[in-house]
């Protein structure tokens, strides 16, 4: 099912409760109008009963009283509102014996109310007469004359057409006004939604008209306040997409450029070996060195791409950098021994919110650089210090150090300090990892008495603070 439009959603959300309320109000109004009509027309019935009562005569007293009525129907015509309603009457004594009127009209067997609405002895009730619903007024009328005294029961019944017609008229007069109000509400909703969604439609048209590669931020100065979070979120998504596309383009460009050279060299070496220009053993050694360099380049470029991939993941776990540093140091211990280095490591617990692969890649690249560029037989120290909200991881070698202009250039892609070895991506990978973790990395020459004693590579990263339950938290 297609989702509802905002206009239809508001119309249904507003009009359905309003229509339901109007329906309930209409039913209640009809009952109230009918009660009001009954109250008004009951007075007419009572007046009719009194007119009939005034026409009665009596002979005899009490139980022996005999009533006589000479009531022409024309006497009741003055109380008929129109031809839509009809009046019926019955005059009886207290025993129910018919004196005058319609014999088939059932005799009243009810009771007078304790607090009657009128001073007379009168009761009103609903009944059926000749398959029609009628309203009946009962009047207990004392009759006295010079020849006797007695009590008459006068019943006057009226059909309900006029009363119901009046109630319906009151209801219809109210409903058409309420219908007009509903129409006004619907029109206001349509107009307001049309105006409120105009910036959305304009924004949609602008996005559709954009070129495929245009990921610049959306400019919506006239957007409603409620739409600004959506615009900001969209701009953030577009910024991430732009960064991903840039990284992808750079990766493809750099891969195509950097792998072309070792592949061309490898092809030349193989052709030279096939022609017999060099000894087979030497040719294999040259081919092996080229393959190793190409493999290292491919692995580091894949690592650089993986750093960007992990950067987009917001659910990084907490890892102890001290354990990672000691694990990498043990892994590279054969290289340390081969260089006959005086190796020293000093760490303390340092929880960092990061993927363990990123920490291992960072440590491996920096430690490998320190081993490779340090002086053979010299000193190599690794120190990890956690202080407050930050940690400092320092790799101190005993190499010749770096010139100031070279220290900045080494963090650029494919800028190697030694052109004969390395791909020029190691420090770039380290920098990308550190920036992804919200830290910094610097390379400083360590000097003593004006002479360079080695190079310090220092990484600063934010610590993952400890929660109340002892678990690491942001």
CATH code of 257's domain: 1.10.287
Mean pLDDT of the chain: 80
In a domain, 191, yes or no: no
Cα(278)–Cα(244) distance, integer angstroms: 46
Structure tokens at 445: 């020459």
DSSP 3-state percent helix, strand, coil across the chain (nearest 5):
50, 25, 25
Strands of 184-240, DSSP E:
none
In a domain, 246, yes or no: yes
In a domain, 14, yes or no: yes
Flag whether pLDDT at 474 surpasses 70: no
What is the per-residue pLDDT across 88-140, written as a single tens digit (0 to 9) for each? Answer: 888 888 888 888 888 888 888 878 776 666 666 888 888 888 888 888 888 88
The CATH number linked to 409 is 3.30.565.10
Are 344 and 251 members of one domain?
no
Cα(140)–Cα(242) distance, integer angstroms: 97
pLDDT band at 296 (very low <50, low <70, confident <90, very high): low
Are 283 and 396 members of one domain?
no
**8 Å CB contact between 41 and 162:** yes
> Taking residues 365-388, what's their average pLDDT?
89
Are 338 and 302 members of one domain?
no
- Give the pLDDT confidence score for residue 344 in this predicted structure: 93
Determine the structural domain holding residue 351 and report its residue range: 318-473
| Helix or strand (DSSP H, E) at 56 | strand 56-61
In a domain, 367, yes or no: yes
In a domain, 46, yes or no: yes
Are 322 and 306 members of one domain?
no
DSSP state of 4: P
Distance of CA 130 to the CA centre of its chain: 64
Least confident of 151-155, 201-205, 333-337, 424-428: 424-428
Are 288 and 139 members of one domain?
no
Cα(285)–Cα(151) distance, integer angstroms: 140
Are 136 and 22 members of one domain?
yes
The SS3 of residue 383 is: strand
What is the per-residue pLDDT across 210-252, written as a single tens digit (0 to 9) for each? Answer: 887 778 888 877 777 777 888 888 888 888 888 777 777 766 6
Last residue of a domain, one of 311, 336, 351: 311
Are 162 and 307 members of one domain?
no
Ramachandran class of 310: left when φ > 0, alpha when ψ lies in -120 to 50, beta otherwise? alpha
> Taking residues 243-268, what's their average pLDDT?
70
Last residue of a domain, one of 145, 169, 193: 169
- Give the pLDDT confidence score for residue 324 in this predicted structure: 93
Are 35 and 118 members of one domain?
yes
In a domain, 265, yes or no: yes
pLDDT band at 411 (very low <50, low <70, confident <90, very high): low
- Give the pLDDT confidence score for residue 419 in this predicted structure: 45
**8 Å CB contact between 455 and 444:** yes
Place of tokens 């007069």: 173
Cα(328)–Cα(343) distance, integer angstroms: 13
Are 157 and 29 members of one domain?
yes
Last residue of a domain, one of 107, 142, 169: 169
Flag whether pLDDT at 423 surpasses 60: no
pLDDT band at 415 (very low <50, low <70, confident <90, very high): low
Cα(91)–Cα(69) distance, integer angstroms: 8
What is the per-residue pLDDT across 160-201, written as a single tens digit (0 to 9) for each? Answer: 888 788 888 888 888 888 888 888 888 888 888 888 778 778
- Give the pLDDT confidence score for residue 27 in this predicted structure: 85
Pair type for strands 122-129 and 342-346: unpaired
Distance of CA 428 to the CA centre of its chain: 41
Q: How many residues does the chain have?
A: 474
In a domain, 218, yes or no: no
The CATH number linked to 28 is 3.30.450
- Give the pLDDT confidence score for residue 256 in this predicted structure: 62
In a domain, 213, yes or no: no
Flag whether pLDDT at 465 surpasses 70: no
- Give the pLDDT confidence score for residue 380 in this predicted structure: 92
Are 86 and 148 members of one domain?
yes
- Give the pLDDT confidence score for residue 150 in this predicted structure: 83
Q: What count of Cα atoms within 13 Å lies in the side-chain half-sphere of residue 356? A: 9
- Give the pLDDT confidence score for residue 76 in this predicted structure: 64
What is the per-residue pLDDT across 58-97, written as a single tens digit (0 to 9) for each? Answer: 877 777 777 877 766 655 665 555 556 788 888 888 888 8
Number of domains in the chain: 3
Own/partner pairs for 42-46, CB < 8 Å, 24+ apart? 42/124, 42/135, 42/137, 44/79, 44/81, 44/158, 45/79, 45/124, 45/135, 45/136, 45/137, 45/156, 45/158, 46/118, 46/120, 46/122, 46/137, 46/139
**8 Å CB contact between 347 and 325:** yes
Pair type for strands 148-159 and 56-61: parallel
Are 14 and 100 members of one domain?
yes
């Amino acid at each position: 099912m297609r989702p509802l439009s905002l206009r239809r959603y508001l119309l249904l959300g507003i009009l359905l409760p309003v229509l339901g309320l109007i329906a309930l109000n209409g039913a209640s109004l009809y009952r109230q109008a009918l009660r009001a009509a009954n109250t008004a027309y009951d007075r007419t019935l009572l007046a009719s009963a009194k007119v009939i009562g005034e026409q009665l005569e009596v002979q005899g007293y009490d139980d022996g009283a005999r009533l006589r009525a000479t009531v022409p129907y024309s006497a009741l015509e003055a109380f008929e509102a129109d031809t839509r309603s009809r009046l019926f009457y019955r005059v009886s004594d207290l025993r129910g014996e018919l004196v005058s009127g319609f014999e088939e009209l059932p005799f009243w067997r009810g009771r007078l109310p304790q607090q009657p609405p009128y001073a007379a002895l009168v009761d009103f009730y609903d009944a059926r007469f000749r398959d029609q619903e009628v309203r009946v007024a009962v009047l207990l009328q004392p009759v006295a004359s010079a020849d006797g005294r007695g009590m008459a029961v006068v019943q006057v019944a009226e059909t309900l057409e006029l009363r119901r017609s009046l109630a319906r008229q009151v209801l219809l007069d109210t409903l058409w006004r309420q219908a007009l109000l509903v129409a006004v509400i619907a029109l206001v909703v349509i107009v307001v939604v049309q105006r409120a969604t105009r910036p959305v439609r304009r924004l949609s048209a602008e996005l559709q008209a954009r070129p495929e590669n245009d990921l610049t931020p959306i400019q919506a100065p006239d957007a409603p306040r409620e739409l600004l979070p959506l615009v900001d979120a969209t701009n953030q998504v577009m910024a991430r997409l732009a960064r991903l596309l840039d990284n992808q383009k750079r990766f493809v460009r750099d891969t195509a450029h950097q792998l072309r050279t070792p592949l061309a060299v490898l092809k030349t070496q193989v052709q030279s070996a096939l022609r017999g220009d060099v000894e087979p053993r030497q040719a294999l050694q040259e081919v092996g060195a080229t393959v190793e360099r190409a493999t290292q380049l491919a692995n580091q470029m894949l690592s650089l791409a993986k750093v960007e991939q992990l950067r987009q993941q917001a659910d990084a776990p907490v890892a102890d950098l001290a354990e990672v540093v000691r694990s990498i140091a043990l892994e590279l211990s054969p290289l340390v021994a081969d260089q006959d280095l005086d190796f020293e490591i000093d760490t303390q617990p340092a929880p960092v919110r990061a993927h363990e692969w990123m920490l291992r890649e960072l440590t491996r690249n920096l430690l490998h650089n320190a081993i490779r560029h340090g002086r053979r037989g010299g000193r190599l120290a690794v120190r990890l210090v956690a202080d407050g909200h930050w940690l400092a991881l320092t790799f101190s070698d005993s190499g010749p150090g770096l010139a100031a202009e070279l220290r900045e250039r080494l963090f650029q892609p494919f800028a190697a300090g030694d052109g004969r070895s390395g791909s020029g991506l190691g420090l770039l990978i380290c920098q990308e990892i550190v920036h992804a973790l919200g830290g910094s990395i610097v390379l400083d020459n360590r000097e003593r008495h004006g002479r360079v004693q080695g190079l310090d590579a220092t990484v600063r990263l934010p610590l993952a603070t400890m929660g109340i339950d002892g678990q690491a938290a942001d």
